[in-house]
Amino acid sequence: MANKKNTEKNNKSKNIKEEVNSSKKNINKENKASKNEGNNLKVAKNKNTEKKKVNDEANTNKSKVDLKEGKVVSKKETRKLNKELKKERRKMASRVPMDPEVKGKIILVCIIIIIFCAFYFLTLFITKDNTKSKSSSNNSSSKSTSSNISYDEILLGRSFSMGDGEYLVIYYDESNEDISSEISSLISTYKNKESHLTIYSVNMNSPFNSKYVSDESNHNPNNASEMKINGPTLVKFNNNKVEDYIEGFEDISNYLS
């Protein structure tokens, strides 16, 4: 019985050893196969990288050739290409429909601008007319006043040549404020009469008339060069001749009243 047990144990141990050895052999075979596969994968990767490099070089060479050819073509046909591009862009722009809301807003803005411009130019036109009318009225008024002044005030040298018929000429110093204000009031009251002669005034303070100022007066002058004025003087002319000769403010006021 003991021998049988020993033999059985020995057989089991042998079987176990054989299984272990066979498993080791299988593992070694698998390791070798995996190593071979890894080497094959490395070789394939290297081949693929080389193919990529070759393809990249070929593509770069092609692109360089294309670029060179493109430069030559661009020099010859740039104008044609630009024209065609412009035509295509115009066609595309004409084909693209505008949003009706945007179109309505644009039209509204244009109408507002036109109305604003119309009002602006209308106001300019009105203001120009007003300024023209004002300037014309001012000019006419200034002309009328200047004509009245030039008509009323004369130089002494024209005393005998103011027209045929009867007229009066009063001589006084306008720089004397008292006499000037009184004589101007006398002239205005005289002109307001229903029947009155045309009256002219001569400023004896003017340098054109100062040479006729004298201490002695000439009551019967035949022309302007013979006149001598001594103080306020009123002379009535009739047909370019002296008819009346009045001196002094009181006598002049009595004559004109």
Domain locations in the chain as residue ranges: 87-150, 153-256
pLDDT, position 222: 94
pLDDT in tens, 146-197: 444 435 889 999 999 998 799 999 999 999 988 889 999 999 999 999 889 9
Beta bridge pairs of residue 236: 168, 244
Confidence of residue 84 (pLDDT cuts 50, 70, 90): confident
pLDDT in tens, 9-20: 556 555 665 665
Contact present, 214 and 229 (Cβ < 8 Å):
yes
What is the chain's Cα-based Rg?
A: 65
pTM, two decimals, is 0.43
Percentage of the chain exceeding pLDDT 70: 58
Distance in angstroms (rounded) separating the CA atoms of residues 107 and 100? 10
pLDDT in tens, 225-256: 999 999 999 999 999 899 999 999 999 999 99
Phi-psi region of 84 (alpha: psi -120 to 50; beta: other; left: phi over 0): alpha
Per the model's pLDDT, the better-predicted residue between 102 and 72 turns out to be 102
Confidence of residue 58 (pLDDT cuts 50, 70, 90): low
Contact present, 238 and 165 (Cβ < 8 Å):
yes
pLDDT in tens, 118-155: 888 888 888 776 666 555 555 555 444 444 443 588 99
| pLDDT averaged over every residue in the chain | 75
Tokens standing for residue 122:
């209308």
Window from 24-28, 99-103, 112-116 with minimum mean pLDDT: 24-28
Per the model's pLDDT, the better-predicted residue between 40 and 170 turns out to be 170
Distance in angstroms (rounded) separating the CA atoms of residues 51 and 227? 134
Name the one residue in this structure whose structure tokens are 């770069």.
60
For domain 153-256, the CATH architecture is: 3-Layer(aba) Sandwich (3.40)
